[in-house]
Structure 1
Amino acid sequence: MTPEAILADLIQCGIEPSVTPDKTGIVVPAGKLTEAQRAAVLGHKPALIACILESARITSELIDAAMRAAAHWKDDPEEWRRQCLEVPPHQRADLLDHLQSQYPKP
């Protein structure tokens, strides 16, 4: 299983992992992982940490681009934020590319 597949599985199960401040550990709610998930996380820990950090970076940049789009259309920025967070993580990079092409940074 790839780190991306592990992350997708966790998110699909309602588990949003994060990385410890020192970027050496993964934080998940206590008692939420199955034994198979725990083994997958531990078996791919360094690559999974990188995957989680990349996903967080993409999501942050996506929200920034969405705020520029909301300002352009004079829409509710919180609605744009909500809709972006509803996009599955594996599709956020594509949406980010689109929004950045349409609403580049000033």
Structure 2
Amino acid sequence: MTAQAILAELIACGITPNLTPDGAGIEVPAGRLTDPQRAAIKAHKVELIACIQEAANLTTELLAAAMRACDAHGDGPEAREQMRLDCLETPPQLRADLLQHFRDVYPASNRVKQEPNT
């Protein structure tokens, strides 16, 4: 089983693993893991930590891109908060696609690309 598969299984079971503050461990709600899940986490801890960190980074990028969309539409605080909540409610396996959509439609930089001198 891969770390991505373990993470997907945990999320499907309603378990959202987080990293400890030092980033060296994994935290899950007490009493929620089955013995096989616990064993899988221990067997793939390093890879799973990397997956959780990658998912957190993706979520951070997604929220920043969503706020660019809000900026483009002149959204106020309530709409921005709703956008944030909508992004966080997006299933983790769909967040990369949503991020790509926001990047395509609301790029981080609106600078005009200059052609090289010929």
Q: Using structure 2 for the length normalisation, give the TM-score.
A: 0.84
Gaps of at least 5 residues in structure 1 are: none
Instruction: Give aligned pairs, total.
Output: 106
Asked if 1:97 is matched to 2:96, the reply is no
Partner of 1:87: 90
Q: CA deviation at 1:21?
A: 2.1
Q: CA deviation at 1:60?
A: 0.7
**RMSD across aligned positions (CA):** 1.2
Partner of 1:31: 31
% identical equivalent positions = 57
In structure 2, C-alpha distance between the alignment counterparts of 1:84 and 1:24, rounded to whole Å: 27
In structure 2, C-alpha distance between the alignment counterparts of 1:77 and 1:12, rounded to whole Å: 27
Q: Which has the larger radius of gyration?
A: 2
Q: Which amino acid aligns with 2:62?
A: L
Spell out, residue by residue over 1:14-35, the C-alpha distance to the aligned partner (whole angstroms, 9 max, x if none).
Answer: 1111111222110111111011
Q: CA deviation at 1:82?
A: 1.4
Gaps of at least 5 residues in structure 2 are: 110-118
Q: Which amino acid aligns with 2:88?
A: L
* Structure with the bigger percentage of helix: 1
Q: Which amino acid aligns with 2:8?
A: A
Partner of 1:21: 21
Q: Which amino acid aligns with 2:72?
A: H
Spell out, residue by residue over 1:39-84, the C-alpha distance to the aligned partner (whole angstroms, 9 max, x if none).
Answer: 1111110000000000000001101100110121233111111111
Q: Partner of 1:52: helix, strand, or coil?
A: helix
In structure 2, C-alpha distance between the alignment counterparts of 1:85 and 1:40, rounded to whole Å: 26
Q: Which amino acid aligns with 1:71?
A: D
Q: Which amino acid aligns with 2:97?
A: D
Partner of 1:43: 43
Partner of 1:5: 5
